[in-house]
């Protein structure tokens, strides 16, 4: 009961414009994270298929770099992709209109 009241007070303290701004920043960070991860994964694939580009690397080291970059992105997403109003995870949709937990409009 007390926790629900605290969440409502927290939501009321932030105005809608501030929430929209914070969500836009989170969305931008998420897109940058996706781009970096995709770049690293694709670069490793290219280095494996064309070993003369930047030198020869073993397949196991390239796969390890890909796994670490994907795992890092997952950890980053779990901390970054949260509702600015209630702090709950926003789910898989990057173009969310609102939070499913607290029903706050994000756009």
pLDDT of res. 105: 87
Question: pLDDT category, 71, cuts 50, 70, 90?
Answer: very high
d(CA 42, CA 97): 31
Q: Per-residue pLDDT for 95 more than 80?
A: yes
From 38, 46, 23, select the one nearest 72 (Cα to Cα).
38
The pTM score is 0.76
For residue 72, is pLDDT > 80?
A: yes
**What is the per-residue pLDDT for 6?**
56
pLDDT for residue 59 = 84
pLDDT in tens, 10-63: 555 568 888 889 999 999 999 999 999 999 999 998 888 877 766 677 888 899
Q: Do residues 99 and 83 make contact, with C-beta atoms less than 8 angstroms apart?
A: yes
């Amino acid at each position: 009961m007390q926790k629900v009241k605290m969440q409502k007070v927290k939501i009321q303290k932030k105005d809608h414009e501030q929430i929209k701004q914070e969500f836009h920043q989170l969305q931008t960070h998420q897109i940058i994270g996706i781009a970096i991860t995709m770049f690293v994964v694709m670069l490793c694939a290219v280095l494996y298929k064309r070993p003369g580009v930047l030198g020869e690397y073993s397949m196991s080291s390239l796969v390890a770099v890909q796994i670490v970059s994907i795992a890092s992105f997952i950890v980053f997403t779990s901390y970054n992709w949260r509702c600015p109003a209630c702090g709950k995870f926003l789910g898989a949709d990057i173009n969310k209109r609102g939070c499913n937990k607290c029903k706050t409009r994000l756009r």
